[in-house]
Amino acid sequence: MSSCNTKCISVSDQELAKIGQLIFINEGAGKVDNLTTWNQGEEFASLGIGHFLWYPKDKEYKFKETFPEVYELIIANGGVPPLWMEELPTFDLPWNSRQEFYSQFNSPKMLSLRDFLLETIPQQSLFMANRLENSLPMILEAAPPAKREHIKAQFYRVANSPMGIYVLIDYVNFKGEGTLKSERYNGQGWGLLQVLEGMNGTEQGMPALQEFAAGAERVLLRRVKNSPAQRGEQRWIPGWKNRIKTYTSQDIISYYQTIQNTQETSDSQLTKVFEDMYRNLVCGQS
């Protein structure tokens, strides 16, 4: 990922892999089974480390279907899909209901899909990095003109901090760009735009990451306060706070230790990736 802005941002393949593993933990507790999910009450599957949406045939919903785009990027960057995916007459989810999806959860087709998703975490990370890069122009266009330079400065303040790219990629994947008017309660959003808008500091590094984490928690608590009572969004707060803790490096080891018992440690390859990732913290920190 590189920015056309003079404040250049670059991310190595190794760093992307680490970022992807962190997001895998955030979205699916690092469990291989959670690479293929279908949430209760939804009409589509959520796949991969970013829970990318994939719709059954002839189904369209208001949410953006991202898995076909992810798949195209994976293939363009060397991923090798299972043969059955290449032979689909149309690139639609081959399971038509949640019940059918889970009745075949351990079928050869589903197992090969999870293997494919596990092997292509770096490419999935690249997709999310590209989404972040594309988000800044969207955010600036949606922001009031008088605030655009401030928001841009805060974006690069975080991005050029250790772990900053992880923080920005994760939050955009987690809660969006903050530009859609439909994603508002009482006229107030909770995406990346709203977090950056509320930041005021100038220092990079840990001060930037700490201020971002505090701002993220603030806008999410505001969201819950503004949300319709029947949605019961209060229940999400502990998990959201735990996720935000990973945005500051001094918390990342303790966060890992609190969830490592949920990992599939029998998968030696995945365990080694986790150990290496947390040893190096992301972005080459020791």
Contact at 8 Å (CB) between 170 and 220? no
Q: What is the pLDDT of residue 181?
A: 83
d(CA 120, CA 179): 29
Which run of H or of E encompasses 47?
strand 45-47
Joined tokens for residue 46: 């959520």
Q: Which residues neighbour 38 within 8 Å (Cβ) at sequence distance 6 or greater?
A: 44, 45, 46, 95, 98, 101, 102
Report residue 59: phi and psi, to 5°: -115, 135
Encode the chain (286 residues) as per-residue pLDDT tens digits. Answer: 333 343 445 566 666 667 777 777 777 777 889 999 998 767 899 999 888 989 998 777 656 788 999 999 999 999 999 999 999 999 999 999 999 999 999 999 999 999 999 999 888 888 887 888 888 999 999 999 999 999 999 999 998 887 788 899 889 888 888 988 878 889 999 999 999 999 999 999 889 999 999 999 999 999 999 988 887 889 889 888 988 988 886 555 444 444 444 333 333 443 343 344 333 333 333 3
Q: What separation in angstroms does the CA of 47 have from each of 1, 28, 62, 110?
A: 23, 10, 18, 11
pLDDT in the model for residue 133: 80
The answer to whether the CB of 223 falls within 8 A of the CB of 190 is: yes
* pLDDT for 262: 39
Q: Which residue(s) pair with 52 in the sheet? A: 47
pLDDT at 12: 66
Of the candidates 249, 279, 283, the residue with the CA atom closest to the CA atom of residue 10: 283
CB burial readout 28-59, b (16+ within 10 A) else e: bebebebbbbbeeeebbbbbbbbbbbbbbeee
Which residue carries 């974006």 as its tokens? 155
pLDDT at residue number 13:
66
pLDDT of residue 277: 38
Q: What angle do CA 7, 10, 11 make, to 5 degrees?
A: 150
